[in-house]
Structures are given as C-alpha cells and as structure tokens.
A and B are shown apart, each in its own frame.
Chain A
Amino acid sequence: MTQKREKKSKRITLKSLSAQLRSLPEVEVPETLKPRLLAAIPDTQAKPAPANQCRGYPAWDFGVTAAAAVLIFALMLLVNYGLSTPSKTVIMEFDSSLCCTTWNQNSFLYDQNNTYLEKSGSYQLK
C-alpha cells in the first residue's frame, strides 16, 4: 500500500502539474452576465480619461514656471537699471564727493539747464 502511494507521489512532476493546472474545468459563467454587460455600455462616447488630462499638466506647469522666471528676471533688470536716479543728481553727488566748495546753491538747485556746471564759475576746489 505504501509502495503504491510512493509510486503515485513520484508521478507528480512540475510538468504534469502545470498541465493539470492548464486543463482545469472552465468556470460556469452566469447567463445573465452577458446581457448585463452589454446593457451597461452607454450610447455616448467615452469621456477622455483623467490620465490624459494629467499628461497635460507638466507642459502647462513648465510654461508657467518659465513665464514666472522671465517676469522675475525682467523685474530684477528694471530695479537695477531701469529705475536709476536722474543724471543731474549723480553729477551733484559726484561733485560733492570731490569736495566742491561753496556755490550758489539756489542757482544750482533751480537751474534746469544741464550745462551749468561747466559754464558757471560758482564753485572752487579746496
């Protein structure tokens, strides 16, 4: 009896087992399933999948990021170069740093002509 059992167990190989698995009887499908599945298909066309919409996001995101970067760069340029003080003031500061002595302050302040510095002799070096 035990010998018979041993013989039987030896017969089970991986190959025979896989063949047995492949030939398992077919599962009975309920008859109502097929009409239910067909009835469940709507007449309208399928909506685009959310996955597709998500695929659009990186490109959109990149565009926004690039635009923001350009805007920030433009603002930086504007702050550094675009909004510089008028040349008159620069000259004034430059002159004062060179230790210009007394001048006619009123004429300097109210004279709108740019050439007053060269023409007027109202200042002296220390």
Chain B
Amino acid sequence: MLRQGRRKAYEAAVLQHYRAVYRFMAYLTRDTVLAEELTQETFASAWANIDSFKARSSFETWLHRIAYRKFIDSKRSRRRDAALMAGLEVQNDNAAKDVNPLHRLAADENTRLLYEAMRSLKQPEYIAILLHYIQGLSFRQVAKVLNQPVGTVKWQTSRALKTLKQYLSGRV
C-alpha cells in the first residue's frame, strides 16, 4: 500500500511514527530545532524513496535507518560549519539548556544522573542503548538500522549498560 505512493497511507504512517522519529533525533542531537528539522528531512526522504521500501524490514526500522543517515549527514555538515564559524561563535550555556529537549525531562535526580551517565558513553554505545531501550527496537532491528551484525549490537549494549552502572554506582 505504501509502495504505491498513496498519500493517505503515507499520512497514516507519518502520524504513527513521527513521535518516535522526533524522539530519536532529540536524543541524538540534543537540540529541539535541529531535531525538528531532521525529522522533517527524514519523512521527506522517506516519501521520495517510498518505492525502494521492499518490506524486508519493518517500516519503523526503515525510517530509523533513514533518520540515522540524516543525523550522520547533518553531523558532517555541522562539523564543516563549526570549523567556519569557530571564530565567531559565543558559547552560552543557558541558551544551550533551553534548546536541549532532554533538560526539560530531567525533573528528578535519578533521571538527571542517568542522562549525565548516558552522555559519558561512546557514540556507538549511546546509539545502541537509545535504539534498543528508548526507541524499543529489537537487537535485530538495531543491527539493521546501524548496518552492523547483531552480535556487535548486543555487545555494545551490554558494554554500555556496564559503563552506565559503573558511572551511577560512583555517583549515587
């Protein structure tokens, strides 16, 4: 149905998945504006390539895969921009906190500590944890999104959990 490019079917898919894609982007970018932009880009790209969706994986996995690629691309371009703007940019921590969608969530101490701990993780481990525990994808789905073997994903997740435990045990 989706492959036929029907607008209504696609609208339903957007409504079903946009929260998950935005959440994924928010955790990846820690920036509401950028997360919103990348979510839009993800869905635009998904619509443009709807014919390439062969239902070998779920639509959710396919969307996450596109979203992850969008994030990687934006990270690359931001790195270039940052190099250009390095001399002009003035860091403002308060402004950064306002933009970060995760700061608003850290209402209690435990959640705040957990976010802190997650920030200490290496990127592949952070993304594995994010996709499996927060986005609720299975290890097989995570492996497809990241284009890695399932074993590697499981190993990264378990290592990330151990790191988190170590971090939190030292703080609590």
Enumerate chain A interface residues (CB-CB to B < 8 A).
Answer: 5, 8-9, 12-14, 17-18, 20-22, 24-30, 32-34, 36-38, 40-43, 45-49, 51-52
Closest 7 CB pairs of A and B: A49-B52, A46-B5, A21-B133, A9-B169, A45-B5, A51-B52, A49-B49
The 8 Å CB contact of B48, one of A29, A38, A46, is A46
CB distance from A33 to the nearest CB of B (A): 6
CB distance from A73 to the nearest CB of B (A): 38
Interface residues of B in 1-26 (CB under 8 A from A): 4-5, 7, 10-11, 14-15, 18-19, 22-23, 26
The docked-state distance in angstroms from the alpha carbon of A27 to that of B5 is: 30
B104 at the interface (CB under 8 A from A): yes
B162 at the interface (CB under 8 A from A): yes
Q: Is the CB of B48 within 8 A of A30?
A: no
Q: Is the CB of A29 within 8 A of B22?
A: yes
Secondary structure call for the A interface: loop
What residues of chain B lie closer than 8 Å to A32, measured between beta carbons?
Answer: 36
- How many residues on B have C-beta within 8 angstroms of the other chain's C-beta atoms? 46
Enumerate chain B interface residues (CB-CB to A < 8 A).
Answer: 4-5, 7, 10-11, 14-15, 18-19, 22-23, 26-27, 32, 36, 39-40, 43-44, 47-52, 101-102, 104-105, 107, 110-111, 114, 129, 133-134, 136, 158, 161-162, 164-165, 168-170, 172
What residues of chain A lie closer than 8 Å to B27, measured between beta carbons?
Answer: 27
Q: What are 6 A-B contacts with C-beta separation under 8 Å?
A: A9-B170, A12-B165, A20-B110, A20-B114, A21-B114, A49-B50
Q: Is the CB of B18 within 8 A of A37?
A: yes
Q: Is the CB of A52 within 8 A of B172?
A: no
The 8 Å CB contact of A41, one of B7, B134, B172, is B7
The docked-state distance in angstroms from the alpha carbon of A25 to that of B168 is: 18
Q: Is the CB of A37 within 8 A of B105?
A: no
What residues of chain B lie closer than 8 Å to A28, measured between beta carbons?
Answer: 101, 104
Q: Is the CB of A41 within 8 A of B47?
A: yes
Q: Is the CB of A49 within 8 A of B19?
A: no
Known A5-B172, A20-B110, A21-B133: A51·B7 in contact at CB below 8 Å? no
